[in-house]
Chains A and B, each alone.
Chain A
Amino acid sequence: AQKITQTQPGMFVQEKEAVTLDCTYDTSDPSYGLFWYKQPSSGEMIFLIYQGSYDQQNATEGRYSLNFQKARKSANLVISASQLGDSAMYFCAMSPNRDDKIIFGKGTRLHILP
């Protein structure tokens, strides 16, 4: 079964510290995409980072990096030097077989403390 698991419902982190949000996935498709989205209290879903299953290197976008461990089916998001504005809900997602649909995890609510 295709599934995304985020085991941390909530996290509290001190400002300027690095944050790792966990995500594991399950799929039997050899080709898939992995995503992270940020949803602040305003509700919009902001695309953060993408990792293709055949990409050799971990994706990096500014302060965001995706720690892709294919054998462990893990796609953790790392936010370096956290800021107050990083407080939001974060969703890990997958497109199995590069198909139309994206499957979302249940999300992790991140709180950055001043």
Chain B
Amino acid sequence: GAVVSQHPSRVICKSGTSVKIECRSLDFQATTMFWYRQFPKQSLMLMATSNEGSKATYEQGVEKDKFLINHASLTLSTLTVTSAHPEDSSFYICSARDWTGRFGPDTQYFGPGTRLTVL
């Protein structure tokens, strides 16, 4: 149980294009999903909290217009990196909480991540 998928797993794009990353909870409903960014050899940095049916909550320093988040259903959240630039190249990983899981309502289950390379 508590499986989270993420698509695509890897994307290479040209500078100036927009990239959409999907995060899906496969066997549970997730009212709250999270988006993280991870630089090489570093820990995860929370970018935003995505709430189903409402606006995302962004962490300080994260550009809302740059990283658009939509949580249209209980199983899907999307992150769109708009007008991507080389400095946006990173590993992006999403997570979701399974409120009905046996490991506590605050346990987050992660997708496999998306490696974005902007040329």
Contacts and interface: CB of A to CB of B under 8 A. Distances in A.
Contact of B110 (A45, A99, A101): A45
Classify the secondary structure of A's interface with B: loop
B13 interface: no
Contact of A33 (B2, B107, B111, B115): B107
A95 interface: yes
A98 B103 contact: no
Given A43-B113, A45-B93, A107-B43, A100 B49 contact: yes
Interface string A56-94: 000000000000000000000000000000000001000
Contact of B106 (A42, A91, A95, A107): A95
Contacts of A95: 106
Contacts of A104: 43-44
Q: Classify chain A: how many residues form its interface, as a range.
A: 20 to 34
A107 B108 CA distance: 17
Given A43-B112, A44-B112, A98 B106 contact: yes
A35 interface: yes
Interface of B: 2, 32, 34, 38, 42-44, 46, 49, 91, 93, 95, 97, 103-113, 115
5 contacts: A33-B107, A37-B110, A45-B95, A47-B110, A102-B108
